[in-house]
């Protein structure tokens, strides 16, 4: 480390990066920040470790723009680097004035709103029926696709689902006490067809307690007690790649969650009910998620049926 306490060596950067990811509670955020910092460290080392300064981070931002990275990815990287600088300063590895300068590096303005990907009803139906249910893996994969799209779960929530989570309430099957993003606890209704897919999988797999979804080896046998969110991602990617033309090539697990929201909204489900199912902190988050805004032409007050 030089006299201006800006040039951290690789071991120090790695140690501080660990502090950054350990401070996060959401697994998706941990992975995203970890990837962003790894890419920054690669660039940092390739450029001779120029020092953690505002000028360096602005230079890195310019490099990311030149690579054609999206504003969202650039802003994520800058957020991770700002947190890195703060942690480094808190641990005496970086001058607080330099950390403050890095925290003033402006992000990239995003114009408009990312639409994201989702499937049509026909494409969603085709995807659910894609796995070969004559095999154990196919039964598992179909159940994963069904619960992801039928209940709008995040992939980490699917991976952590247990037999005890699935219970009856008010005459229907639900997932109770599901702990989601921000440690928010919610109850999620499950459609009958998704429950049937789960039932067929656990019956053949012989699962009556613990995690619902388990690893299946190449021989078609259970191997282990848990799967990771990455497994859910891989299952979606594998089967999405086989369905009809017209499907976005980058369909991921989160896009099935968005598909749930889109189809529910199109079907007439109330926005606040979609919000509760998804576990969003506010109705505005759900509106942004669906790409909908307040409708002043056909407003709720127009269907009250009252008159003077």
DSSP state of 206: T
The one catalytic residue in 154, 165, 239, 258 is: 154
Residue 257 known to be catalytic: yes
Q: How many CB atoms lie within 10 A of CB 159?
A: 22
DSSP state of 166: E
Residue 154 known to be catalytic: yes
Residue 111 known to be catalytic: no
Q: How many CB atoms lie within 10 A of CB 285?
A: 13
CA 257 – CA 273 distance, rounded (Å) = 15
Angle at 190 between CA 189 and CA 194, to 5 degrees: 170
- Please compute Rg for the chain using Cα positions: 23
The one catalytic residue in 140, 155, 239, 280 is: 280
Residue 298 known to be catalytic: no
215 and 223 Cβ atoms separated by less than 8 Å: yes
Tokens of 199: 């039932």
The one catalytic residue in 83, 142, 186, 257 is: 257
The one catalytic residue in 33, 44, 60, 289 is: 289
The one catalytic residue in 31, 54, 69, 181 is: 181
The one catalytic residue in 30, 35, 69, 254 is: 254
Residue 137 known to be catalytic: no
Q: What residues are labeled active site?
A: 154, 181, 254, 257, 280, 289
């Amino acid at each position: 480390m030089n006299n201006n306490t800006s040039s951290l060596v690789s071991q120090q950067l790695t140690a501080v990066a660990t502090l950054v990811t350990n401070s996060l509670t959401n697994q998706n955020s941990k992975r995203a920040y970890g990837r962003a910092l790894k890419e920054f460290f690669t660039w940092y080392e390739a450029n001779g470790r120029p020092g953690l300064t505002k000028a360096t981070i602005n230079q890195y931002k310019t490099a990311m723009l030149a690579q054609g990275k999206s504003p969202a990815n650039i802003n994520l990287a800058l957020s991770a680097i700002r947190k890195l600088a703060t942690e480094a300063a808190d641990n005496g590895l970086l001058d607080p004035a330099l950390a403050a300068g890095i925290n003033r590096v402006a992000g990239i303005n995003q114009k408009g709103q990312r639409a994201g990907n989702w499937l049509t009803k026909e494409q969603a139906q085709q995807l659910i029926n894609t796995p070969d249910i004559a095999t154990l893996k196919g039964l598992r994969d179909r159940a994963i696709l069904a619960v992801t799209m039928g209940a709008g779960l995040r992939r980490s929530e699917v991976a952590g689902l247990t037999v005890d989570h699935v219970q009856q309430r008010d005459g229907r099957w639900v997932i109770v006490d599901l702990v989601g993003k921000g440690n928010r606890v919610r109850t999620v209704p499950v459609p009958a067809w998704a429950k049937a897919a789960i039932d067929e999988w656990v019956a053949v797999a012989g699962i009556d307690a613990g995690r619902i979804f388990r690893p299946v080896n190449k021989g078609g046998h259970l191997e282990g007690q848990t799967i990771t969110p990455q497994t859910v991602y891989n299952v979606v990617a594998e089967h999405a790649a086989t369905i009809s033309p017209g499907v976005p090539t980058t369909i991921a697990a989160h896009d099935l969650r968005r598909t749930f929201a889109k189809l529910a909204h199109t079907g007439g489900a109330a926005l606040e009910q979609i919000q509760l199912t998804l576990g969003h902190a506010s109705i505005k988050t759900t509106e942004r998620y669906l790409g909908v805004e307040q409708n002043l032409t056909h407003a709720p007050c127009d269907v009250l049926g009252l008159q003077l």
